[in-house]
Amino acid sequence: MPFRFDNSYARDLTGFYLRQMPDRAPNPRLLGLNEALAAELGLDIDQLRDHGGEWFSGASVPSGADPIALAYAGHQFGGFSAQLGDGRAHLLGEHLGPDGRRWDLQLKGSGRTPFSRGGDGKAAVGPMLREYVISEAMAALGIPTTRVLGVASTGETIMRDQGPVPGAVVARIAASHIRVGTFQFFAARGEDDKLKQLLDYTIDRHFPDAAKAEVPALALWDAVMRRQVSLIAEWMGVGFVHGVMNTDNMALSGETIDYGPCAFIDTYEPGAVFSSIDRQGRYAFANQPVILGWNLARFAESMLGMIDPDQNRAVDLANQALDTIQSAYDEAWLNVMRRKLGLLGAQMDDVGLVQDLLSLMQDQAVDWTRTLQALAGAVTEDHTLLNLFAQQNPMKHWLVRWRARLAPDATDRLRLANPAVIPRNHLVEEALRAATLGDMSPFEKLLAQVRDPFGATAGREAYCLPAPSDFGPYVTYCGT
């Protein structure tokens, strides 16, 4: 058997999904196979090479699969939709890895389901490869993420705003696809029995210690909160903008999920927005911690009845929990930035040191990744960092304060904390455009580079530089 399926969600949670087979791709072809991930999962790579095109496109399903479309609700740009669900995705099952860990295997772009809401259920080559390259970059950066096992073209042509494009499906691995929106789905319907089932299942699968707590629902909320504040703090450290932080895109496992209109900032701009549909900047770079708190509040609301049968007491307990988010996030973010600045220990004025650097970066519109990566050389008298700033005197004063706080092994720490290579937006677009036209070479080269983010820059300088001046404002799309 290529996969060791043990499909507990389908088996134990009747009424949480609809059984639905993927569309059969007419002419499947394997575009990319994540062999390193396959090896981690204990999968037979030769079998995947032989059959991955069919399995990852929906043309056929591997033995033991039980395809389902998951039900969930969600707040999308602040507005609540009581029924969303997998409109173009099929959960094939849960694979057990060599260590016994459980991994969802889901197809995305694999056809319509009863949750499709008028969509075609399909996906194009470009957005599916975007998910592949960005999620692999995040994994290499050490940031929790869903990952792509493979991408297959379907042999179909689908219509999008830009015209006809080749269809594709991505096979995604995740710790699970349980979302804040999953809880919201049943809370909105007043289905308390199903909410309790979901609570117990989520705790058992992801947070078993919460079962021992006096109030398991609050313990689950706290565990999810801590994973999420850590995740978003890591996003902020690498300049990542998710682009669509709806509650149905917040996985309780603490993984980054659903790479739609995502991007990385070049110059440091707190208000950076790339998504074509985020016209108000709700999910702008600097707003991500705020939306984190908003989403966690919606999660708490969905569990009020399980926090305490007395509504007033449940609200009080939930509000007490919500009051902990800001301090937890501030601590997580400051720890990320201390690591990225190579600081020794912790001091009260570290926040000021970090904020002053961010102000200098914003005022002079310098590149986020290159500035942080150049810190390793600035431990001594390397001028690479200073040369990024048109006005150097303010930066010189900052460097004096910073050097006084450095750990003895700061140079090594800084090289391990700050990548030289991220998926630069112009290179991503170049690679996806070529792949859409049938040339996978630029994509494969970019993928290899982002998988080695902390390596030396020599010989790959083109992957370390921001977009040329004529690249223009960058706009991303959901791909639906």
Residue among 253, 252, 231, 228 nearest 143 (CA): 231
Do 58 and 110 contact (CB within 8 A), yes or no?
yes
Residue among 319, 145, 335, 146 nearest 221 (CA): 319
Please provide the DSSP assignment of 16-46 as one string: SEEE-PPP--SS-EEEEE-HHHHHHTT--HH
Distance (Å, rounded) from C-alpha 202 to C-alpha 252? 8
Query: How many other C-beta atoms can be found within 10 angstroms of the C-beta atom of residue 460?
Result: 15
Burial class (CB in 10 A: 0-12, 13-18, 19+), 70: buried
As given in the structure block, the two tokens for residue 332 are 């997580």
Question: HSE (CB half, 13 Å, CA atoms) of 103?
Answer: 25
Residue among 248, 258, 124 nearest 183 (CA): 248
Strands (E), 237-278: 240-241, 263-264
Q: Please identify every residue annotated as catalytic.
A: 248
Distance (Å, rounded) from C-alpha 28 to C-alpha 90? 17
Q: How many helices (H) and strands (E) does the chain have?
A: 18, 11
Beta carbons within 8 Å of 463's beta carbon, 6+ residues apart: 421, 424, 427, 446, 449
For the chain, the maximum distance between any two Cα atoms, rounded to a whole number of angstroms, is 65
Tokens 């070529």 — which residue?
A: 434
Query: How many other C-beta atoms can be found within 10 angstroms of the C-beta atom of residue 363?
Result: 13
Do 16 and 198 contact (CB within 8 A), yes or no?
yes
